[in-house]
Amino acid sequence: MKPQVLFGFHAVASRLKARADTVEEMFVSAAREGRSDGRLDRLLAIAKEKKVRVLAVDNKRLDGMTGNARHQGVVAMARPFQLPQFVDDVLETVEGQPLLLVLDGVTDPHNLGACLRVADAAGAHAVIAPKDRSVGLNATVMKVASGAGENMPYIVVTNLARTLRELKDRNIWVIGADEGGEHTLYESKLAGPLAWILGAEGEGLRRLTRETCDEIVSIPMSGSVESLNVSVASGVCLFEARRQRLAMSTPAKIAPPR
């Protein structure tokens, strides 16, 4: 299997901490040697602890390995490891209420990386995307995800509408976020099993995806902008679901008498 290229401090450090056994080699910029650099020192200490070989190379070689991406002088070659590949595999391991993020038409690697990061931070159980309208977990995605790509299952499905129907058969409420929603997410009940569906910025949800949703809601916009970046919108939706779940599980505090 072809090695995976990881670059940037967050992506490399996260792999070293999570699965150091998959890291074959780590490369650092020779130009950084001798400098006072706390982040690099900490990364090198982790590599030494995990017994990962580190090579100092010139920036030209790092540029070639990453396609001239912003690698921050740190690159690692690692063997891919398998997170759950199917929705059923994810749902079988969920304790409590499932929380999923479904991306319909997000093809920009920076947006996907940011969505993975948001989903991980909000405690989502997986990110789902259609095969013909998505981007793979390439090096840019992994860097932007800042380690979330190592832990967040990214499930690619061949037929998104069918997958959504299967989620509904499992009693998972499928909600689309779109500016044409009849009411806002703050008016919706989001504490149960839930799959959020978001489309690409500007395009929104495809017709078939929209028709498959149980509910369409909007994010209330108070300023002059008409829409949010898909990763920001994902964060708003996922964290509102988390807030409602926490409110349901936390006993109300009664103010003491004056």
**Same-domain status, 122 and 242:** yes
pLDDT tens digits for range 73-130: 999 999 877 777 889 989 998 988 999 999 998 989 999 999 999 999 999 999 999 9
Q: Which of 50, 78, 106 is the last residue of a domain?
A: 78
Cα atoms in the Cβ-side hemisphere of radius 13 Å centred on 39: 11
Q: pLDDT at position 138, please?
A: 84
Asked if 258 contacts 119 with a C-beta cutoff of 8 angstroms, the reply is no
d(CA 230, CA 235): 9
pLDDT value at 36 more than 80: no
Would you tell me how many other CB atoms lie within 10 Å of the CB of residue 182? 9
**Which is higher by pLDDT, 119 or 143?**
119
**Same-domain status, 150 and 212:** yes
Computed over every residue of the chain, the mean pLDDT equals 89
Domain presence at residue 62: yes
In the chain, the number of structural domains is 2
**Same-domain status, 132 and 192:** yes
Q: What is the mean pLDDT of residues 56-82?
A: 90
Alpha-helix runs per DSSP H in 123-193? 139-145, 160-169
Edge-to-edge order in the sheet of strand 23-29: 4-7, 74-78, 23-29, 54-57
pLDDT band at 69 (very low <50, low <70, confident <90, very high): confident
Q: What is the mean pLDDT of residues 165-189?
A: 92
**Same-domain status, 71 and 100:** no
**Same-domain status, 146 and 218:** yes
Asked if 43 contacts 12 with a C-beta cutoff of 8 angstroms, the reply is yes
pLDDT value at 237 more than 60: yes
pLDDT band at 160 (very low <50, low <70, confident <90, very high): very high
Q: pLDDT at position 256, please?
A: 57
Domain presence at residue 192: yes
